[in-house]
A and B are shown apart, each in its own frame.
Chain A
Amino acid sequence: MTTKTHERADFRGLRRMLDNILRDDDGTRGLFVQAMGNFLTAAGYQDEVLVRSALAEAKTELGDLLVEAVENLAKRSSASQAMIRQVTTKLEGVPIEPDEQFDELGRSLSSVVSTALRALYDFRDGEIATSRKHGVEVPNAAKLDEHIAHWQAVKANLVDPWPWSNVPVPLPPVDREMVARSRAAILAGEPGEDIDALIERLRSE
């Protein structure tokens, strides 16, 4: 990579940070099991009215637990998003010449994004969908969709087009009209600005 040595060190730090995100776990399934335990205990009674009452209570409790689980998932997702922003802030506007070290950063980033998306998809399409089917309301469930949309955008803009060292760059087409105008300017004796002078001029502006 042609970036400076201190920037290489930053990339290693960024990768360690991303790997740490993957080591975290959440206890949402434990909460779900606890709510189901309450429901089964209630169902053990033979009195139909009591069973219905216990079931309604278990559903409410399960809903509360799921709301809390959504909040926990959203909080973890937000924390991971903040980490990703730190990474992209470091990379923003810095020309990259990909190499193996930069590939490793891309792999770590890809793992963070796919792990976050999988956790959100699994919870939304698993616990939340099943609970809704049985009449359990989870008022804040839309937060999962918001976080999924965010991570999908990160995947589309940052991960999928990652500049891997072994993948050819998808270059834009040449602006042929600009070439023609520039060539005419050179031939007319208006060749432009030396690149050193141009960089210095921009720095001083």
Chain B
Amino acid sequence: MHPRSITVLPEVSRRLGELLADKEAVIRVLGELRHHLQNQAAGSRANRDDAQPDFLFTVPIRVLLRGRWRFIRFSVNDTTSPDHFFVEAVSLSD
């Protein structure tokens, strides 16, 4: 099966940069997100969003930032297009 392309919405990439405040960390986290979506998509897609299960699933990523464990949540749309994963939102634990 042809792999879906992964598209990151502009607000998500901007927000991720603001949240992590470290370009290298942003690149690593995006690489990890890509790894999840390319190699573990079936498992990730089973983790459906509570409010919009028909549209979104969640990819969680754990990362140490400035000596503190933080948890990143990506919300990915796998329904709007059969050929794409659209990364629609990102949030970070306090």
Chain A residues at the B interface, C-beta cutoff of 8 Å: 2, 88, 91-98, 154, 157-158, 161-163, 169-176, 178-179, 181-183, 185-186, 190-196, 198-199, 202-203, 205
Contact = CB atoms under 8 A, between A and B. Distances in A.
Given A158-B67, A195-B30, A202-B27, A98 B62 contact: yes
A52 B41 CA distance: 79
A166 to B, nearest CB: 14
Contact of A171 (B51, B60, B69, B77): B60
B62 to A, nearest CB: 4
A174 B67 contact: no
Interface size range of chain B in the complex: 35 or more
Contacts of A171: 58, 60, 71, 73, 93
A191 B28 contact: no
B12 A178 contact: yes
B12 A182 contact: yes
Given A95-B61, A95-B63, A195-B30, A174 B7 contact: no
Contact of A172 (B8, B34, B91): B91
Nearest to A187: B80
A85 to B, nearest CB: 8
Contacts, number: 159
Given A91-B64, A93-B24, A158-B69, A175 B7 contact: no
Interface of B: 5-13, 15, 20, 22-35, 37, 49-52, 55-56, 58, 60-69, 71-73, 75, 77, 80, 84, 86-94
B71 to A, nearest CB: 5
B56 to A, nearest CB: 7
A178 B20 CA distance: 17
B23 A205 contact: yes
Nearest to A160: B69
21 contacts: A91-B64, A92-B65, A92-B66, A95-B31, A95-B63, A96-B64, A158-B67, A172-B91, A172-B93, A174-B50, A179-B89, A183-B80, A186-B77, A193-B7, A195-B6, A195-B8, A195-B33, A195-B87, A198-B30, A202-B26, A205-B23
A151 to B, nearest CB: 13
A192 B28 contact: no
B91 A2 contact: no
Contacts of A192: 7-10, 12-13, 86-87
B68 A158 contact: yes
A178 B26 contact: no
A134 B77 CA distance: 69
Given A174-B73, A179-B56, A179-B75, A198 B8 contact: yes
